[in-house]
A = this chain, B = another copy of it.
Amino acid sequence: MEKIIHGRPYKNTAKGPILVPCAPHGVLARLGDKWTILIMSILAMTPTTPLRFSEIKNGIPEISQRMLTVTLRNLQRDGLVLRHYFCEVPPRVEYELTLMGKTMLPALEGFTGWIRENWQAIERSRQAFDDSNGDL
């Protein structure tokens, strides 16, 4: 009775199809937030060597220290990123993708690839829509 459409489970009812929530929404919301994808991409660039906090920050010039900390904490909590703290002075902290984090990369790549191919068209569409006051 339960089928899958484009990765989502649903069921057909008399009133039409209804999507069955499969709890992935919290995950997608995380990935869609302002910094997660950027951080995942940075960490994906050096699969074998962890990166220091400051190195990540360097790779994403616009990010604030606070949001980098917060987002990394969330990714660690989700099991996508591993954090290594070295008790030295000055302190050193390194981050790397977990195994699960690495399994996400192909899917991520598929998505960002589509975006790279289509964002100009999207920008144009937005422009046209705004110019026509929405009565397209």
Residues on A lying within 8 angstroms of B by beta carbon are 5-10, 15-19, 21-25, 27-34, 37-38, 41-42, 44-46, 51, 55, 58-62, 73, 76-80, 83, 100, 103-116, 118-119, 121-126, 129-130, 134, 136
Contacts and interface: CB of A to CB of B under 8 A. Distances in A.
Contacts of A41: 5-8, 10, 19
Contacts of A122: 27, 78-80, 100
B28 A115 contact: yes
A136 B10 CA distance: 37
Contact of A78 (B7, B23, B104, B126): B126
Contact of A32 (B28, B46, B62, B130): B28
